Structure 1
Amino acid sequence: MTTNTQQNDAPAGTPADSHADALPAGGGYAAEHPARLVLPEHAPEVYKAMVRLDAAAHKGLDPVLVELVKIRASQLNHCAFCLDMHHKDALAAGESVGRIVQLSAWRESRHFYTEKELAALELTEAITLLTEGFVPDEVYERAAEHFDEVELSHLIASIIVINAWNRIAVTCRSVPGRYTPGQHKGHSA
């Protein structure tokens, strides 16, 4: 997520219709689950530190590439809050719907992405899924072919930070659907 969890979105208890534009017309949808915990309220210094870390992590990287990485990690971590946030931010940054849709199957849709983006996505999966074989040398080396050491350092940090945000949002059960693009500028979840 870019720098936030639901905490800075709508307050707990806001009616579900506050994000009705995100839902298809017709009603009959399941009830929205409540958040378990609003982390910024109870650990504001931790939250502020995460926001600063996130901003520092992606400094100097292409914003669209960062959003693709954040979306892919969030897909792997099943973080609905971060998926909602980052697909909206990606669209606002000029990303196409088609590339966002194909992201979950990027290996079969390689022609939608640049070689640099493919290397970043592959590294994102390796870092996010550490228990499935660590980060193989060939994955790291492919990324190093497309990113200089400073960029690669920031890319790695960005992947690590979105994984941390995913874990915060999933654990706190942050509610997706209320985020508007740019809502957390200066933040970064």
Structure 2
Amino acid sequence: MTQPHVESHKPRMNLFELAPDVYRAMRTLDRAARKGVDPALAELVKIRASQLNHCAYCLDMHIKDARAAGESEQRIYFLSAWEEAHGYYTEQERAALALTEAITVLTDGFVPDEVYERAANHFEEAELAQLISLVLVINSWNRIAVTCRTTPGTYRPGQHNGSA
């Protein structure tokens, strides 16, 4: 069996060393966005957005954090096909994942009213605002890590080294 050709991607830069004020601002924004969001749900949202954005560094980080927090392997494995994985995610989690996808993949159009309303039916307005903020922040982290080609595989749970 032959190995597929995999192009080597060397890190381009450490944006946060070169723009430390941006790093501090992102960390502050990240902490603010997580307030009041269930930590297990937050990790599911971060993993799903990172899958959609093809961010290996953030996938590595948030899968490790989810495991460290006690998330089941099956729920992590099935996340890319959550719509088909009936019985593994609550209706609230499914609404949050649908909203995460709609916000993350804006090339498909605007966030549909039915997706927004579904989430609004499962979250109080302040909780929904926090969830939307969380999705916005993980998308920003993803774009930084993908653009700078941050090397996956180095993160250890409880460690924050450039992404949140």
CA shift at 1:184, angstroms? 2.1
- The residue correspondences of 1:1-189 to structure 2 (distance < 5 A) are 33-184=9-160, 189=164
After TM superposition, the structure 1 stretch with the greater mean CA deviation from structure 2, 153-162 or 34-43, is 34-43
Does structure 1 conserve the Cα–Cα contact (< 8 Å) formed by 2:36 and 2:127?
Answer: yes
After TM superposition, what 4+ stretches of structure 1 lie above 6 angstroms from structure 2? none
- Taking only aligned residues, the RMSD between alpha carbons, in angstroms, comes to 1.8
Amino acid at match of 1:68: L
Percent identical among aligned pairs is 68
CA shift at 1:34, angstroms? 2.5
Unaligned runs of 5+ in 2: 1-5
Q: Say which structure, 1 or 2, has more relative contact order (CA 8 Å, 6+ apart).
A: 1
Amino acid at match of 2:144: I
CA shift at 1:31, angstroms? 8.9
Distance 2:121 2:86 in 1: 17
CA shift at 1:110, angstroms? 2.8
Distance 1:136 1:85 in 2: 30
Distance 1:158 1:128 in 2: 11
